[in-house]
């Protein structure tokens, strides 16, 4: 099979109008089993023409020029090979901010906004400057979303990949947050000391043996290092929790993104390290996606006697 799994790339012959190209593209994507065929067709056509997606409606009968048609063929071939739109366009929107992507960074997911929401709720009583640590920062999307909402916080984003760190730095700069963010190479928190009021992480949590069964957009294009959570999917939670105790302030919070069936196992692991679940938060699909842990609650529930 070729890169597009045998699905033909539309030719977009000379004289093809925008409306025809959009319809052709939508049909080709739908035939290849791409769920978001109509939306993807619109986004890629607009990008190939260098215009905003809504401008397509203004001139549906305008013919594609040669360069636009060539770009569209390239984009169509990439999408038919299951490359996600965000990677074709090179950027994604998350929490209303724009993030550049690179092959070493996970594409930001809308579901991950649940982590930002949970973290913001947990730190709502914050006064004054505080430190945030984001472990496995990738594009920097979680940390930078949090910094955009907390005017006095300073954040450290950690990643093992220097290329991911370069992308995160560029994203901090582009979003006007570079003066409150630093990006550091480390294997989880091993290189760090400090007192963080908030530790956030969307670690790799897919069970190693399940990665091939994910959508091809994920298994072929997201970096394996950002997905693979080891045989049981929990290796990275274990690594993070074993360092969290020495890095978190007494009243601090840890906020994790979770796989859809990991609420109990992560809560159990957290308990082994002296943390208890304060709250959880669901994503748009209704799955428990974010977990807020604190040490305080663990002490309270351990210390209180039943009355
Ligand atoms: N949520 C991602 C997915 O859908 C996985 C990201 C991760 O392992 N942290 O595949």
Gap between the Cα atoms of 288 and 302, Å rounded: 25
Beta bridge partners of 230: none
Atom of ligand 1 at shortest range from CA of 206: 8
Beta bridge partners of 132: 155, 198
What residue spans define the domains of the chain?
Answer: 2-81, 103-301
**pLDDT given for residue 176 in this prediction:** 98
Nearest CA to ligand 1 atom 5: 227
- Indicate the CATH number for domain 103-301: 3.40.50.150
Pocket test for ligand 1, best of 188, 216, 227 (most atoms within 8 A of CB): 227
Gap between the Cα atoms of 47 and 137, Å rounded: 28
- Both structure tokens of 152: 């006095």
- The number of C-alpha atoms within 13 Å of 102 and in the hemisphere containing its C-beta is 16
Q: CA torsion sign, 70 to 220 to 288 to 159? A: negative
With bands split at pLDDT 50, 70 and 90, how would you rate the model's confidence at 298? very low
With bands split at pLDDT 50, 70 and 90, how would you rate the model's confidence at 73? very high
CA 172 centroid distance within chain:
15
pLDDT per residue over 118-147, tens digit each?
Answer: 999 999 877 778 999 999 999 999 999 999
- Residue 279 has phi, psi (to 5 degrees) of -150, 165
**pLDDT given for residue 305 in this prediction:** 47
Gap between the Cα atoms of 82 and 252, Å rounded: 41
pLDDT per residue over 222-255, tens digit each?
Answer: 999 999 999 999 999 999 999 999 999 999 999 9
């Amino acid at each position: 099979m070729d890169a597009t799994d045998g699905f033909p790339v539309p030719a977009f012959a000379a004289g093809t109008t925008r409306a025809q190209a959009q319809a052709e593209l939508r049909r080709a994507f739908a035939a290849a089993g791409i769920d978001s065929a109509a939306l993807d067709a619109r986004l890629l056509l607009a990008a190939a023409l260098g215009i905003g997606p809504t401008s397509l409606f203004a001139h549906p009968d305008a013919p594609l020029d040669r360069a636009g048609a060539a770009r569209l063929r390239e984009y169509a071939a990439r999408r038919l090979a299951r490359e996600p739109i965000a990677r074709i366009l090179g950027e994604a929107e998350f929490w209303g901010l724009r993030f550049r992507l690179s092959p070493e960074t996970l594409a930001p997911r809308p579901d991950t906004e649940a982590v930002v929401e949970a973290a913001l709720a947990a730190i709502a009583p914050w006064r004054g400057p505080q430190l945030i640590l984001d472990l496995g920062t990738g594009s920097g999307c979680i940390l930078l979303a949090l910094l955009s909402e907390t005017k006095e916080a300073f954040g450290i984003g950690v990643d093992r990949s220097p290329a991911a760190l370069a992308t995160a730095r560029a994203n901090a700069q582009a979003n006007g947050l570079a003066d409150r963010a630093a990006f550091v190479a480390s294997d989880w928190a091993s290189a760090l000391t400090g007192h963080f009021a908030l530790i956030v992480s969307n670690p790799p949590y897919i069970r190693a043996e399940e990665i091939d069964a994910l959508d091809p957009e994920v298994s072929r294009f997201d970096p394996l290092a950002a997905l693979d959570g080891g045989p049981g999917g929990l290796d990275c939670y274990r690594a993070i929790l074993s360092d969290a105790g020495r890095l978190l302030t007494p009243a601090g919070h840890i906020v994790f993104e979770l796989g859809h069936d990991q609420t109990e196992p992560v809560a159990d692991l957290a308990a082994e390290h002296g943390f208890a679940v304060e709250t959880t938060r669901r994503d748009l699909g209704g799955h428990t996606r974010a977990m807020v842990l604190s040490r305080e609650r663990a002490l309270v529930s351990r210390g209180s006697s039943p009355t």
